[in-house]
Each structure stands twice: as structure tokens, then as C-alpha cells.
Chain A
């Protein structure tokens, strides 16, 4: 038994190392801008999905308003950069803390509700934030938004000449998100989160301080989501309320996690690879002019997953792997 477990973990380390090498070398091998753009999108939405999954996946607090923190992160760093000439690297961290602070009152309101009504309340708070940024043009440029001044190659201001550099930044973010998730998954907090996700009342009955745990995980999730917001507006050099608070980002954060496997470390990454690849293929076949096709396909995939594979693609892989192990001749399992 022990040997088997050792072998599995050796395999995992080897697979992880290979994946890491491939991801590090990818921009050196692929110079096509369109392809790099897709890779960056995949990494970015994987990261947003990972941030969402911490709260939505493990604790099953299904938020559809995570774009609130994405937008707050984006606006914080942009305001700091344009009005005070502070580097977006600092702005990014500041945005994370702003999002963390904002998650406290939002959580205080929304956690009063459970299940679907929690979801609705999160949608409403994100929309309300967007309306605020639309209305107050004095400090945030109102509905027109603003372009972010292009300083050419300026790594200290998070501006790069090549797409490959952006790729490495967002790869770093994703690794950060995965490491945090991995640590939490294996800590007492991870078990509390899963207990809350399974049955909140039962978890409280055995002494889990559910409101406190939910508050903490919401803060971590909001912090990470805000980092993605800063990166995104730095990458596209533009910000307006419709972009920074787009409902589609909230949808995609939840979608990639559910399709990939809710409450699993790699689920959001797997889900993003499937959905973003599908979307890129659709775009190259049909052209980007056909509005609605991407989300039509996404919603069909989502429905199929929920009806036939509620554990997502990770669950499917696990089942297939298990079946493969069961099919192996018995002696291969018993002999070293």
C-alpha cells in the first residue's frame, strides 16, 4: 500500500514538473500573437476560477458577483496609477486589500441568505457597484472609462513590449492561486470549508464557526480576484465600468470551476482549458461577429455537466482512471 501511494505521488510530481516545464517554455515556442492571447486568457480565467473556487467550490457559497472584486482591483490600481503615478504592482496589492475590505460588508449582507438567495444577493451587490462607478465620474471617469497611458517597455509599471511577459505575470498569479488553494485544502480551514459546503447546520453543530470561516475565505477569494482585475486592465490598456464589472466575468469564474470540477484543486484550470479552447475554435470558425454563440455553447456544456456529471471533468477523469486501475490484471496490483 505504502509503495503504491509513493508511486502515485512520484508520478504526480513528475507530471507537475513536466507541465511546469511546458508552461514555462510555451511562449518561447509559440510566437503567434493570437495563440499567446488565448494562452493568457486561459491562465487568467483559470486564476479567476481558482479564486472563485476557494469559496464557491469548497464552501459551496455560490457567488455570481465576484466581478465586484475584479472591478475594485482594476479601478484601485488604475486610479493610483493615473492620479498618483503609483506603480500598478503596488496598486495590485492595494486593490487586493480594497477588495478584502469590501468583502466584509458585502459578506455581512449576503451571508444572511443561503443557497440561491445568496447567489442573487451577490449579483445585486456587483451590479450596484457597477452603477456606482457609472454614476461617479469625478474620481472614476464615469461610463466612458479611460485608456491607461502606454509607457512603452516599463516593467516597473507593469507594462511590457511582448505578450510573453504578460504571459509570465499571469502564470505567476495562477501558481500563487494554486499554491494557496493547495495549502488551504490540506489545512484545518480546508476541512471546515468542505464541512460547511456539505451541510452548514451540521458543521455548526459540531463546533465549526461557520460565519467566521466564510468571512475569511471570502476575503482571500476577493483578494485574489482583485489581482486578476489589475492584471486584466493593464493587459488591455483600458478600463470602464462595463468591462471591469462585466457580469460575464462572474459567470465565467463560476462556470470554469463547475465544468472542471467544483471544489477540486485543478478543476478551474481544466474547465478553463475546455471552455476557452471551445470559444477560440468557435471564433475562428464562425467569426466573432455572431453575438451569443459563445455563451450559447457554454450554457449547453454547463447543462450537460450538471445533468450527467455534477462532479465535472475532474470527476470524469477520476472515474476513468479508477476504471483503468480496476481493469488491470490483479497480479499487477499485488506484485511490486
Chain B
């Protein structure tokens, strides 16, 4: 019994690392640019397809294709911010919500048109390997994904706290007007924030590829999880999103273990509704950390 619980917790922890990459992206964009990116999941999907095609046609290991997917998505992020998002920034919510929502619909359905609804997988030498500790086993691909995800999250945190650009971002998140008065170029800061968030989504896609299938709707799974984690971890709070994502991963995994294989989503929704009912401000404070 204890072993089953421990195993479920390990599985949840490992996938929680991937959720964290997606939700840190959502919370970073929300914190800095003040919009919710409904299309974040679709950028995970793009990351997965990049790794899939590189692996299938050029034999590139999905982990190595991080070096392609992250810069590509960073660039896409900068372009999306500069040409689309910038035009709808203002006090009115409606255009912001529906612009990113339309982007999500567009990318999803374009993927459906171009790549069909087929599930695509990449098999690597480490896809089936696992480390054994007593009765517990840790799949290598998931462990690598978790470690890289944590390293990337740490790198982002360090970037936000040690570099001038990172500090400018946090300043813009705290008070946009004052930051602008202090000489911070807000469009540049927004572009970098959007790019960084999308690069994390792309990284999540590449890291998933050795043990998860790519298909057009795959992003929806992750974005829903990320939204819940972001509410739970307090909007705009990077550390909160990280902790909440790992919690979500564990809760989902325990749900699958003890309630039934298709109950993962129910657990997620239950957590969202409980959060809204009892802790609508999230578990942490309101600041971007």
C-alpha cells in the first residue's frame, strides 16, 4: 500500500515538472504582460511536433532538439507579442481573451489540417529504461524531463533575479506605469517575457516527446492543468506556479491510482473548484516572486 502511494507520488512529481514549465510560462505572461495566453498549450504541441519531425527525419534525439525548439518558440513568442498582443493591450479584457483564444483555435486546427489527428511517438534508447529502488521504479525519460524542467525553471528564476532585463521584467510586473517612467522599454520587456514563456512551452514539448504522443489536441491537457496551477499558485507568481504544478501532478497521479484511470481530469477540476470556493486568491501572496 505504502509502496503504491510512493510510486504514485513519484509519477506525479515527475510529470508535475512538465506541468510546471507550462504554468510558469502562463504565469510569467500574466505577471508581466497582464494577459492570459489561452494558446500556451498549442505551443507545447508545436514543441512536440518540432522534436517529432527532427527525430523522425533527421534522427535527432528529442533532448538535443531542445536546442531547436526553444529558440524557435522564443522567436515565435517575440513575433506574436510584437505583431498581435501589442495591438490589444489596454483596459478592455475582451480582445485579449479572444485574440489568444483565436490563436489557440487556429494553431490547433492548422495542426489538424497539416498533420491529421494521428498520434505520433518517438522511440529513444532510454524510452523504456527505468531505475529501480527496492520496489519503486523511476522511468529514465521522465526523470531526465523532470531534471531538465527544474533546471530551466531555476534558470528563469535566476534570470528574473540577477539580470537587469529580468529585474526590469519584475518591475514591469509590479507596476507598469512606474516602470515605464523609470525608462524601461515595456514592449521590449513584454517581447522577452512572451518569448521566454513560449520557449519554456517548447521545452516542455521536447521533453515530453520520448514518453508521450504528439497529436493536435495534446496542448489542451497541459494548458488546463497549467491554468489550475496558476490560479492555485496565485496569478503571476512563478514560484507559486511551480509548487502548485507539482502538487497538481501528484494529486492527478493519486487520483488515477485510487479512483480510476479516467479520473485525472476530475481531480484537476475538483481542485480548481475547491480553490475557487475557499482560496480564490491562491495559496501564496500576490507578488511576482
- For B88, the closest partner residue in chain A by CB is A306
Nearest-Cβ distance from residue B273 to partner chain A, whole angstroms: 6
The size of the chain A interface, using a CB distance under 8 A, is: 39
Main secondary structure of the interface of A (DSSP, over half): helix
Which of B88, B99, B112 is close to A291, meaning CB atoms less than 8 Å apart?
B112
Task: Decide: B280 and A112 in contact? CB cutoff 8 A.
Answer: yes
The answer to whether B273 and A128 touch across the interface, beta carbons within 8 angstroms, is yes
Cα separation A119 to B112 with both chains bound (whole Å): 25
B276 & A109 in contact (Cβ 8 Å cutoff):
yes
Question: Does B1 lie at the interface of the complex (its beta carbon under 8 Å from any beta carbon of A)?
Answer: no
A residues lining the B interface (CB < 8 Å): 60, 62, 64, 109-110, 112-113, 115-117, 119-121, 123-125, 127-128, 131, 135, 251, 254, 258, 262, 290-296, 298-300, 302-303, 306-307, 310
B285 contacts chain A at the CB level, 8 A cutoff: no
From A109, A127, A295, A310, B109 is in contact (CB under 8 Å) with A295
Question: Measured between alpha carbons, how far is A60 from B98 in the docked complex, in Å?
Answer: 12
Give every chain B residue within 8 A of A258 (Cβ-Cβ): 94, 98
A120–B227 contact, CB under 8 A?
A: yes
* Cβ contacts under 8 Å, A127 to chain B: 224, 265, 269
Report B120-154 residues with CB < 8 Å from chain A CB.
none
Which one of A60, A291, A306 contacts B102 once the chains associate, using CB atoms below 8 Å? Answer: A306
10 tightest Cβ-Cβ pairs between the two chains A and B? A292-B112, A116-B36, A299-B105, A292-B109, A299-B106, A302-B102, A296-B109, A128-B269, A115-B93, A295-B109
CB pair B231–A299 under 8 Å, yes or no, is: no
B35 touches A109 (CB 8 A): no
Closest CB-CB distance, A316 to chain B, in whole Å? 16
Q: Select which of B92, B96, B99, B276 is within 8 A of A112 by beta carbon.
A: B276
Q: Is B181 an interface residue (CB 8 A)?
A: no
| Distance, CA A82 to CA B210, complexed state (A) | 48
Contact A290 B113 (CB under 8 A): yes
Interface residues of B in 66-115 (CB under 8 A from A): 84, 87-88, 92-99, 101-103, 105-106, 108-113
Q: Closest approach, in angstroms, between the C-beta of A121 and any C-beta of chain B?
A: 6
Structural contact, B98 and A306, CB atoms closer than 8 A: yes
Q: How far is the CB of B211 from chain A (nearest CB, A)?
A: 25
State in angstroms the CA–CA spacing of A303 and B266 once bound together: 32
Pairs across A and B, CB under 8 Å, 11 listed? A62-B98, A115-B36, A116-B96, A123-B224, A124-B273, A291-B112, A292-B216, A303-B84, A306-B99, A307-B87, A310-B95
User: How many angstroms between the C-alpha atoms of A290 and B112 in the bound complex?
Assistant: 9
B113 and A292 form a contact (CB under 8 A) = yes
In contact, B103 and A303 (Cβ under 8 angstroms): yes
Further 6 A-B residue pairs, CB within 8 A, beyond A62-B97, A113-B280: A116-B97, A131-B266, A293-B113, A295-B108, A296-B105, A299-B102
Partner of A124, one of B95, B111, B116, B224: B224
Q: Are B273 and A302 in contact (CB under 8 A)?
A: no
A192 to B111, CA, bound (A): 43
For chains A and B in complex, what number of residue pairs have CB atoms within 8 angstroms?
111
B269-A303 in contact (CB<8A): no
- Provide the residues of chain B in CB contact with A110, threshold 8 Å: 276
Chain B, residues 185-198, CB within 8 Å of chain A (1/0): the string is 00000000000000
Q: Which residues of chain B are within 8 angstroms of A109 by Cβ–Cβ distance?
A: 273, 276-277
B269 pairs with A131, CB closer than 8 A: yes
Which residues of chain B have C-beta atoms less than 8 A from A115's C-beta? 36, 93, 97
A116 near B113: Cβ-Cβ < 8 Å:
no
Interface centre among A135, A258, A306 (most CB of B within 10 A): A306
Q: Which of A113, A262, A310 contacts B276 (CB 8 A)?
A: A113
Q: Is B5 an interface residue (CB 8 A)?
A: no
User: Distance in Å from the Cβ of B77 to the closest Cβ of chain A?
Assistant: 17
In contact, A307 and B109 (Cβ under 8 angstroms)? no
Partner of B93 from the list A60, A64, A292 (CB cut-off 8 Å) is A60
Q: Which of B38, B84, B99, B276 has the most CB of A within 10 A?
A: B276
Q: Are A116 and B35 in contact (CB under 8 A)?
A: yes
Which listed residue, A125, A292, A299, A310, touches B273 by the CB 8 Å rule?
Answer: A125
Determine whether the beta carbon of B102 is less than 8 Å from that of A303.
Answer: yes
CB atoms of A62 and B94 under 8 A apart: yes
A117 near B36 with CB under 8 A, answer: yes
- Shortest B208–chain A CB gap in Å is 22
CA distance A81 to B257 in the complex (A): 38
Q: In the complex, are the beta carbons of A254 and B113 less than 8 A apart?
A: no
Which residues of A sit under 8 angstroms from B93, Cβ to Cβ?
Answer: 60, 62, 115-116
- The residue of chain B having its C-beta at the shortest distance from the C-beta of A248 within the complex is B105
Interface centre among A64, A110, A115, A131 (most CB of B within 10 A): A115
Choose from A64, A131, A298 the contact partner of B265 (Cβ within 8 Å). A131
- Collect the chain A residues with CB atoms within 8 Å of residue B106's CB: 296, 299-300, 303
B117 at the interface (CB under 8 A from A): yes
Report the minimum CB–CB distance from A57 to chain B (whole Å).
Answer: 9
Q: Which residues does chain B contribute within 8 Å of A121, judged by CB atoms?
A: 272, 276
Closest to B110 in A: A296
| Residues of B contacting A303 in the complex (Cβ-Cβ under 8 angstroms) | 84, 99, 102-103, 106
Q: Does B63 contact A (CB under 8 A)?
A: no
A251-B92 Cα distance, complex, nearest whole Å: 20
Complex alpha-carbon distance, A60 and B265, angstroms: 28
> B228 contacts which chain A residues (CB < 8 A)?
124
